[in-house]
Amino acid sequence: MDLDGDGPQRRRRGAELEAALLEAAWAELAEHGYGALTFDAVAQRASTSRSVVYRRWATKPALAEAAITHVGRRDKARPPNTGSLREDMLAILRHTNEKRIGLMALTISFLGGYFQETGTTPYDLRRLVLHDGPTVLDVVVEQAVARGEIAATLPPRVVDVAFDLFRHEALMRLGPVPDAVLVEIVDEIFLPLATGSVRSDP
């Protein structure tokens, strides 16, 4: 069935059609990996023709990059504002643990062929997903400074340390990180570095 051909079905256009194609490409990557990704498989999954996919992305790397960027931005966390730096950081990590863990696992497990073919790294791919401007972590730190929880804007390495540790745990496990580990990362590593103090309560 070709929903984008000349048949009686409603034709998808513009952003709706592109989103359907990228969701199909993401599903193919997640299920079969980069090596097995084909334009025909994406077209079949999206109920359209190969030419519809090909005229938007002329190469397999371009299609994979577009799909990963689409999913990464679709599931991006919004900056929380719970009134507490601790709770804000936990909210970010829990959202990522729930919504973006598949993206992390796929990056390390299924994209080896992509990195070899393009000569890039997971770091390069991550940059494609991020928008320019302040990150969610930057925003919650700025909020904490405004509330007086921390004295000044933190060094970038301190801002990123909780997420870096979370990413390591996720990649080592190739799956979700236990919530108790998220709490340990925030309470035992991030907050002491950010505030210069050690929490005594659990």
Residue 144: inside a domain: yes
Q: What is the pLDDT of residue 59?
A: 94
pTM: 0.69
Tell whether 182 and 129 lie within a shared domain.
yes
Q: Which residues of 22-51 are buried (b: 16+ CB within 10 A; e: fewer)?
A: bbbbbbbbbeebbeebebebbbebbebbee
Residue 3: inside a domain: no
Tell whether 57 and 136 lie within a shared domain.
no
- In this structure, are residues 96 and 188 in contact, taking their beta carbons and an 8 Å threshold? no
Here the CATH number for the domain that contains residue 89 is 1.10.357
Q: What is the pLDDT of residue 199?
A: 47
Domain count, the chain: 2
Here the CATH number for the domain that contains residue 45 is 1.10.10.60
Tell whether 138 and 169 lie within a shared domain.
yes
Tell whether 149 and 176 lie within a shared domain.
yes
Tell whether 146 and 180 lie within a shared domain.
yes
Find how far residue 54's CA is from the centre of its chain. 25
Q: What is the pLDDT of residue 202?
A: 44
Residue 84: inside a domain: yes
Dist. CA 71–CA 78, nearest whole Å: 15
Host domain of residue 181: 78-195
- DSSP secondary structure letters along 109-139: HT-HHHHHHHT--HHHHHHHHSPSS--HHHH
Last residue in a domain, options 69, 92, 110: 69
Residue 200: inside a domain: no
Q: What is the pLDDT of residue 131?
A: 60
| Token pair recorded at residue 40 | 């025909």
Q: What is the pLDDT of residue 9?
A: 52
Q: What is the pLDDT of residue 109?
A: 67
Query: Would you give per-residue pLDDT tens digits along the chain (202 residues)?
Result: 445 543 445 577 788 899 999 999 989 988 888 889 999 999 999 999 999 999 999 999 999 989 988 887 776 768 899 999 999 999 999 988 888 776 666 666 677 788 888 888 877 877 776 665 678 888 999 999 999 999 887 888 999 999 999 988 988 887 889 999 999 999 999 999 998 864 444 4
